[in-house]
Every structure is written in structure tokens, then in C-alpha cells.
Amino acid sequence: MPADIETKQIEDSVAKNNNEVAVGSDLEFQRRWWRFEHILWLALTALVILDALGFFGRGWFAKAEAKTPDGSMRIEYERIERFGAPSLLTIHFGQNAVRNGGIQLWASDSLLHELGSQRLIPQADRSALDGHGILYTWVAAPQPDSVQFSMQPAKVGSAWLTLRVPGADQMRLKIAIFP
Amino acid sequence: MTTIWHAIFGYFYLVLTVRVLKRRPGAQMTPFEFVLIFLIGGVIILCTMGDDRSETNSVCAVVTIALMHRLVSYLKTRFPKFGLIVDGTPVALVERGVWHKDLMRRLGLDETDVMAAARVKSVKTLDGIKYAILERNGAISIIKNDS
């Protein structure tokens, strides 16, 4: 046998059952594991129930609605989003949102960065960077009574989204983004 | 980078899920276990790869999972307690011809499973089994009754 190979004499080190079969069983550990399994399955069941209710997004609890005090906007959104999962944010405009024959909407840049806005329906006639956000303008008649942002969140964590019709009350929404 | 984190999370999440399944799939594969393997694999790959289906991304994901596997294998060898957690412990289902019914029930096994393993060893009837041991890899070892 080559000298550089480490060797060890066989020992009867594996625990035997009935002193005849070396099984190496650890029943005490197995029973502890079953207790852990039991707790884990309860936790996993709770996880699925919470998910079905929308506590991790895409469900009853996640859906939210907010309205500015002056009634210029009513926003339907999901207060809990999921990273990379498509979602919709709908803004319904009130009568007082129409100014000079057009509608303008200012959205903070978190709409693009954290919330990953992909598409706006209907398309704005103009959009321009304005401070830390974007100003969308619809001038062509008839003005939309609602617009919809299609989003796909690009960051995990929480995002503050500010929406405002210039000259009217603003709305600040906190949106959690789950991995 | 996201793929790497997803692969690491997916690996440990799968190890835990497969570990807490009543009957460890892999050794005695029935169509019932095939459903699990395909479905779980399909679901986890979507989350790991995301929209990025590039070769770079798939290579990174595969290498990360391989490294995780090496790490877990090393930890199993280095720390026997860790090995117990990942692989479990062998459990005697039959000892000297006596069934451990409570253990079998908790492991989600029945006499048919033991008999299937016994037939592989050319044991024709249940009373020909002296010991049946559920191994760490999910297989059932049979020691014949000599008498």
C-alpha cells in the first residue's frame, strides 16, 4: 500500500440494533425532527393561507384604493407587489382634474425605478421629466377619465409613489415589494 | 447576481422541502413522486432564471447550485449533526420480525413498500424478513430471516 495514503483500522463504531445489525439509527433525533416537521408544516400551511388571502401580494388583502381629498383622483393599486410580477395601477380622474381642456398627471420617479412602469394606457400626448418625476399630459379630446400603468417591480423593499394632478391634492402611496 | 441569490435560496428551500416530505423521493420512485419532482423542479427554475434565459445566466445558476452541493457535502462530512439534519437517520422498520408500526406510520410507509424492497432480495413473504431498515437515501434495506 503506498505510504502517502492515510489509513485507519476498521472499528465497530456504528451503533447496533439488538447488538447484531449495525444500523446507526438515532431515534431520539428522529423524534425531535418529527416535532420540527410538525411545526414547519403548520408554518407552511399558514404561509399558503396568508398567500391565498393576498398578504404576499395578488389577492384580497393586497388590493387597495385611495382617493385624494378634493376628488381629483381615485387610485386602484396593489399595496403589496411582487418583484418582477406584472401588475396594474389605475387612476380615475375626477371632473376637477381637467384643466384648460387637458389633463396632467405628475408621478414620482419611483414609478419607473422601483415599480418598473412598462406601459401607460392610453399613451400620454406628452411626457416630460419634471423634478424628481415625470409629467404626463393628455390634451387631445376626449380626455381619458382613467389611465392605467402596467408595472413590473424591479426592486425588492418598499417604494413611495407620489401622484398629483398639478394644482390639486397629491396622493402618497407606500407600496411593499416582496421578493 | 439576482440569479445567484435565487439559486442559493432555491437550493436550500428545496433541500428543506424534500427533506420534510413524508417519504423521501428518489429511492422508491412511483408516479406519485414523479409529479413532485417535475412540478417542484419546474416551479423553482422559473424563479431562479427569471426573464434572463442567457447562457451566462444558466451557467451561473448551475455553477452556484453545484457549489452549494459541494458545500453541503463538505459540511455533512465535517459535522455529523449537520448530516443528520440534511439526510436524516436510518430507521429500523422491522426488527427481528416485529413491525414498528408507529414509526412506519410517521414515515408514511406501509407493508407494501417493505415487501417491494423484500422482493428485490428474493424474499417471497413478509415472515421472511428479519430486519427492514429505511436508509438515509430513502431505500429500504432487507435482511433475510435465516431460519
In a domain, A8, yes or no: no
Same-domain status, A46 and A74: no
In a domain, A149, yes or no: yes
Strand partners for B110? none
In a domain, A6, yes or no: no
Same-domain status, A31 and A111: no
The shortest CB-CB distance from A23 to any of B92, B103, B106 is to B92
| Cβ contact B95–A25 (<8 Å) | no
Would you place residue A128 in the very low, low, confident or very high pLDDT band (cuts 50, 70, 90)? very high
| Cβ contact A30–B50 (<8 Å) | no
- Confidence at residue B132, expressed as pLDDT on a 0 to 100 scale: 93
- Confidence at residue B25, expressed as pLDDT on a 0 to 100 scale: 47
Element (H, E) at B12: helix B2-20
Percent of chain B with pLDDT over 90: 43
Tell me the chain B residues in contact with residue A33 when contact means C-beta distances shorter than 8 Å: 85, 88
The answer to whether the pTM exceeds 0.90 is no
Same-domain status, A78 and A155: yes
For A72-96, what is each residue's pLDDT tens digit? Answer: 999 999 999 999 899 999 999 998 8
Same-domain status, A141 and A90: yes
- Confidence at residue A47, expressed as pLDDT on a 0 to 100 scale: 95
**Are A115 and A170 a contacting pair, CB within 8 Å?**
no
Element (H, E) at A117: strand A117-121
In a domain, A7, yes or no: no
The shortest CB-CB distance from A37 to any of B20, B91, B96 is to B20
- Confidence at residue A31, expressed as pLDDT on a 0 to 100 scale: 93
Q: Which of A16, A30, A35, A42 is best to mutate for the B interface (most B CBs within 10 A)? A: A30
| Cβ contact B90–A24 (<8 Å) | yes
Q: Grid coordinates standing for A68?
A: 385624494
In a domain, A128, yes or no: yes
- Confidence at residue A143, expressed as pLDDT on a 0 to 100 scale: 74
Closest-CA residue in chain A for B143?
Answer: A21
Q: Domain of A32? A: 16-53
Distance CA A141, CA B106 (A): 70
- Confidence at residue B141, expressed as pLDDT on a 0 to 100 scale: 92
Q: Measure B71 CA to nearest chain A CA, in Å.
A: 22
Tell me the chain A residues in contact with residue B52 when contact means C-beta distances shorter than 8 Å: none
Say if the ipTM goes beyond 0.85. no
Average pLDDT over residues A148-159: 94
Residue A40: DSSP 8-state: H
Q: Measure A44 CA to nearest chain B CA, in Å.
A: 10
